Structure formats: structure tokens, C-alpha cells
């Protein structure tokens, strides 16, 4: 089945304004496929996963661009940073837009080269696995905020269906013929993730890193505690920080920053919460091999929260927007799971593993200044979209 990517419209618009379009994101989320689906007939594709083309790009960039002339799609461009200065020269000598479409999966080194060579010339976009909007063919959905417009014809999931969706994950191959879930994720880690990790941090023996990422997966949706993670992974806290930064760079995890507001006088948490961006990968790393195991697991609530946060993040980045989302926790341990700043409003959200939400679950929304506060939401397993009152909506998980 064909799934249209929300980001496609953003790419086509950006191509009319920018000379270079770059899509970053984890391996195998469909970056080059997105480009291929919408590329013009005269645009050539070259992938730097090909050893011969990579060698040419690194040793003789001039000859590379004689062989492959724009308009051009270059896949995994971060492997040949030698190309960036040549791309800069080429785009500086013309007013033509959309000359280069680039993809890359190692964001740190990639962005360093982009900012040094292509600043002001490139539109940088980010792609993750399929969002629920894409899987539901609900392409008109924009960046998420709690709003009456969220009412939709999408089916509402039962608890069993919810955990089936969460467990499956979001990588496109899982929706295109791959039937062995466990083998897919094992191969993904071995073939892509560990190789990218080695490229960035040059580790020779990866047993410690594998142990670390499994420990990290078991802590999805928690406030980061590097000391505990390091202790359980048998590494130093500084190593834990460095390795987590690698996973963030690769788009595997997302750090949800704490919310700060001038009008809140209480001492607030300064430590981010960590979420895996693909719940299937997270489940595999936790050894949870079926959706029923996930539903019965003590981690079930953490996975629901992880799924919802990752979907909210996707709704922003797939629309070419920065996700201004946070969480709230103060010294009195008062918490709000997610806060979204959008449209000059602050939208508070609670994420609950329940089918019978109560208004008391939204009691902390009052911690946000009423003048700034938008509609709040309790996202849960309820089977209806219901306004609890004029300020708080109940939103089924499938509507995100």
C-alpha cells in the first residue's frame, strides 16, 4: 500500500525557494523514497552507499560532478563531506532553485558541514517513520494542538489495537511486505544502527553499547538520570552522556526539555525526559516480542506516553515546523506530561492509560497562566472525542 508522506508538500514548496533541500533523519525511514516519489524525470539519483560512487566523491569531487550533474539527488551525503564546498560553488554561480536534494542520517557531522558551507542556501527538513496521520491517509492534518478540528473519521482503537499499533513501530518496511518483526529489528540494529554508531564514536567492541541502548529503552518516557543509566550499563556517566548524544544525533531518541515560564515562580526541573522515536525498536530492545506482552508489561504506560509524544513531534517536523513542546515538573512534584507552545498559546496535555478519564487528571493545568493557556487535553484509551468542559478535551490516542 502506498503511504503519502506529509513532508512531500513541504519539499515541493521548498524546492521553489531554496537551491538545496536536505532531509535528515534515522536510517530506513524513507528519506530517499520520499524524494524519488516526487522527483522530476531529469533529476539523477546517486547513493553514497555505493562504494564506487563514494570513493569518487571523496577522492575527486570535481569528476563526481562531471559524471553527475544537477538537478541531482544525493543519498547519504554525510559520507562525503568533500562534496559540500563544490555544491556551494555550483549554487553560488546560478539563481536556479532546487538544484540539489540531499539526504543524511548522521545529523551532527552533517549539520556542521551544512552550516559551514551552505548557510542561507539550504532548507533543512527532518523525517521520521510513518506518522499515524500518514498511516490513516489523513493528509490534511497539520501540527498537533488540542482543538475541535481534531474530530475525524479515523476509527477509535480498542486497548488491544492500541498496543498492536505501538508494538509494530513506524518504519516503512514494516508496512511493505516485512512479516518477521523480530528479525527486522534485529537486522536494523546490526546493519544500520551499530554501523552508524561505529562511524561516529569509533567503538571497536560494541557489547557495552548494546547493553547501554537496552537499558535506555527500558527508561523511555523517564526523566534522564545519567548516574543510574551509567551504573546499570557498567559505563561512566560521561560515556552515557556521549552515547545518548549519538542516539539523539541519529534521530533514534528525542529529548523533551522542561518548560520554563517567567510567571511560574516555583523551582522547575532542569533535566529533560527521554523518548524513543520508534516504539517498535524500543519494544525490541526491551525484549517485548508481542503486543500482548507489551500490554501486560509494567512498561505499558511508558510506551503509551512514548507513542503519543513521538506522534506529536512527527506532526511538527513532518510539516516543516519546530516542535515547541516541553514537559512540566516543579519542586513540589507537580507535573504536566506535555506542554505545547503554538499560536501564542500554551496547551497542556496529560497522557493516561485509562478508558475512563476524570477531570481531576487535568488539575495541574491551572499551573499555566490562564491568559496564556489554550485548550487542554487528556489523551487516553477513551472511545470518543469529548469536551469535558470548555477548557479540557478527551482525545482518543488514534486521533493524534
Written as tens digits, the pLDDT of the chain (400 aa) is 778 999 999 999 999 999 999 999 999 999 999 999 999 999 999 999 888 999 999 999 999 999 999 999 999 998 898 999 999 999 999 999 999 999 987 665 666 667 677 878 899 999 999 999 999 888 767 899 988 776 667 889 999 999 999 999 999 999 998 999 999 999 999 998 988 888 788 776 688 999 999 999 999 999 999 999 999 999 999 999 999 999 998 899 999 999 976 544 455 668 999 999 999 999 999 999 999 999 999 999 999 999 999 999 999 999 999 999 999 998 888 999 999 999 899 999 999 999 999 999 999 999 999 999 999 999 999 999 999 999 999 999 998 8
Q: What angle do CA 110, 247, 73 make, to 5 degrees?
A: 35
Contacts of 277 (CB under 8 A, 6+ apart): 26, 128, 129, 251, 252, 253, 254, 310, 313
Q: Does a cis peptide bond (omega within 30 degrees of 0) precede residue 136?
A: no
Look up residue 39 and give its three cell numbers.
522527483
The CA dihedral of 198, 199, 200, 203, to the nearest 10 degrees, is: 30
**pLDDT value of position 265:** 47
Domain boundaries, the chain: 7-126, 132-399
Of 370, 170, 351, 376, nearest in space to 256 by CA: 351
Backbone phi, psi, residue 20, to 5°: -130, 135
CATH of domain 7-126: 3.40.50.300
Beta bridge partners of 376: 392
Amino acid at each position: 500500500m502506498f503511504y503519502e508522506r506529509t513532508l512531500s508538500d513541504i519539499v515541493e514548496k521548498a524546492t521553489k525557494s531554496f537551491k538545496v533541500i536536505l532531509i535528515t533523519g534515522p536510517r530506513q525511514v524513507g528519506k530517499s523514497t520520499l524524494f524519488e516519489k516526487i522527483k522530476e524525470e531529469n533529476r539523477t539519483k546517486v547513493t553514497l552507499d555505493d562504494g564506487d560512487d563514494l570513493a569518487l566523491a571523496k577522492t575527486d569531487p570535481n569528476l563526481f560532478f562531471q559524471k553527475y550533474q544537477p538537478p541531482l539527488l544525493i543519498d547519504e551525503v554525510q559520507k562525503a563531506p568533500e562534496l559540500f564546498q563544490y555544491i556551494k560553488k555550483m549554487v553560488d554561480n546560478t539563481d536556479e532553485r532546487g538544484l540539489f536534494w540531499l539526504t543524511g542520517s548522521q545529523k551532527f557531522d552533517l549539520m556542521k558541514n551544512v552550516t559551514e558551507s551552505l548557510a542561507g542556501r539550504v532548507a533543512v527538513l527532518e523525517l521520521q517513520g510513518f506518522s499515524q496521520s500518514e498511516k490513516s491517509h489523513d493528509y490534511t492534518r497539520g501540527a498537533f494542538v488540542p482543538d475541535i478540528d481534531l474530530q475525524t473519521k479515523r476509527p477509535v482503537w480498542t486497548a488491544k489495537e492500541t498496543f498492536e499499533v505501538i508494538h509494530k513501530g513506524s518504519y516503512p518496511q514494516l508496512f511493505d511486505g516485512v512479516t518477521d518483526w523480530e528479525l527486522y529489528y534485529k537486522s536494523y540494529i546490526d546493519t544500520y544502527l551499530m554501523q552508524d554508531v561505529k562511524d561516529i564514536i569509533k567503538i571497536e567492541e560494541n557489547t557495552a553499547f548494546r547493553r547501554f541502548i537496552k537499558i535506555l529503552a527500558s527508561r523511555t518516557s523517564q526523566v534522564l538520570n545519567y548516574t543510574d543509566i551509567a551504573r546499570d550499563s557498567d559505563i561512566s556517566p560521561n560515556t552515557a552522556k556521549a552515547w545518548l548524544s549519538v542516539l539523539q544525533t541519529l534521530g533514534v531518541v528525542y529529548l523533551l526539555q522542561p518548560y520554563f515560564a517567567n510567571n511560574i515562580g516555583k523551582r522547575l526541573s532542569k533535566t529533560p525526559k527521554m523518548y524513543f522515536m520508534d516504539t517498535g525498536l524500543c519494544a525490541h530492545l526491551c525484549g517485548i516480542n508481542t503486543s500482548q506482552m507489551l500490554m501486560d508489561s509494567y512498561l505499558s504506560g511508558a510506551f503509551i506516553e512514548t507513542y503519543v509524544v513521538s506522534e506529536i513531534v512527527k506532526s511538527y517536523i513532518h510539516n516543516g515546523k519546530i516542535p515547541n513542546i516541553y514537559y512540566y515538573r516543579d519542586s513540589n512534584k507537580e507535573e504536566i506530561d506535555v506542554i505545547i507552545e503554538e499560536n501564542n498559546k500554551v496547551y497542556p496535555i496529560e497522557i493516561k492509560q485509562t478508558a475512563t478519564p476524570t477531570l481531576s487528571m487535568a488539575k495541574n493545568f491551572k499551573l499555566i497562566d490562564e491568559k496564556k493557556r489554550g485548550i487542554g487535553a487528556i489523551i487516553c484509551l477513551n472511545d470518543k472525542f469529548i469536551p469535558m468542559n470548555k477548557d479540557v478535551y478527551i482525545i482518543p490516542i488514534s486521533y493524534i
